[in-house]
Structure 1
Amino acid sequence: MMRSILIVDDDEVFASTLALSFERKGFQASVALNKEQALLIAGQQQFTDITLDLNLGEQSGLQLITQLRALQPNATILILTGYASIATTVQAIKLGADNYLAKPADSAAVLRTLDDDATGIASAEEDVSDFQPMSVSRLEWEHIQRVLNEHDGNVSATARALNMHRRTLQRKLAKRPVGR
């Protein structure tokens, strides 16, 4: 059976490039640039794999996971995002995603992750000795994301919970997440 993949990403260039790479690997690839297109395509055709961008313009890919899972119960759903945090990873898995991968990612990394087991545990070829502890800045970012998630994205409630001024929190949230 031919594998088929639905690529849901608002970055048209990235989505098209990824689709072309998968077609070269023998996949049948379809692209959706927003939530509406994704639901329409997923309702018309069965897929073995789905990649879903966490940030679809003004929409959250998290809201789309349960709908895609209902339409595609046997598909492997992989969340792709440029803003990886532990809180969103946990939430995505709870909502029905099978795995999570931070961008930038090429088709080889996406395929490797899709083929990993559904627990998201690193494959045997990855060397655990390369483990680097997170920096203090990254730990702060992860903690803020977890508390923000606990307060359903409410910045004011999160600022109160963190005993932080709301504007300070907004400045921290506006920055790109720091590396490891």
Structure 2
Amino acid sequence: MQLAAFATASLVLALTPGPGVLFIVARTLAAGRRAGLAAVAGVAAGNLANAVAASLGLAAVFALWPPAYNGVRWAGGGVLLWMAVQSWRRAGLEAAAQAPGGERQDAHQAFWVALLNPKTTLFFAALLPPFLDPAAPAAPQSLALGALFVTIAAATDCGYALAAGALAPRLTRWPTAGARVAAIVFGLLGLYALAG
């Protein structure tokens, strides 16, 4: 019963667009479905790293020492703003073309977008405890529930990538539109992260 409740809560939260979903959609619109699915893998890896960090107590460090939280938040905002500038520059050069090995770069960037979002670690710290059995060790349960959430989120993220991939061909009339949209999304996410 508790597992079903956790899975339902996870699905509702995963369907709510956040920085990871916006990144996935932006990359899909800019460079196609393969780029979006690579970004899904990167976001899932970053979310899993955050789940592990929350299980190991990083969320408690963030709560007790705000400079750690702010440092990660500012680093994430800086990375996103840098990605916005790079995407805007690429749009002027080669619209939505995907360079060889670009999927690896998309996954790598998506990983950092997810990992450098300290709110994700705090989210895991808040979501997991109500579903833990106090009679059993907390860390293995936290890791298992975190992995379940990451799996559910990856499935919904794939849906977002496929939907954006279906929309992307309509942007071919405006060859720089996808990359420009991606740049704007990255910039807004960066400003949001810096604002706290």
* TM bracket (short chain): under 0.3
Q: Which has the higher strand share?
A: 1
Q: Which has the higher helix share?
A: 2
Q: TM-score when scaled to structure 2?
A: 0.25
Q: TM-score when scaled to structure 1?
A: 0.26
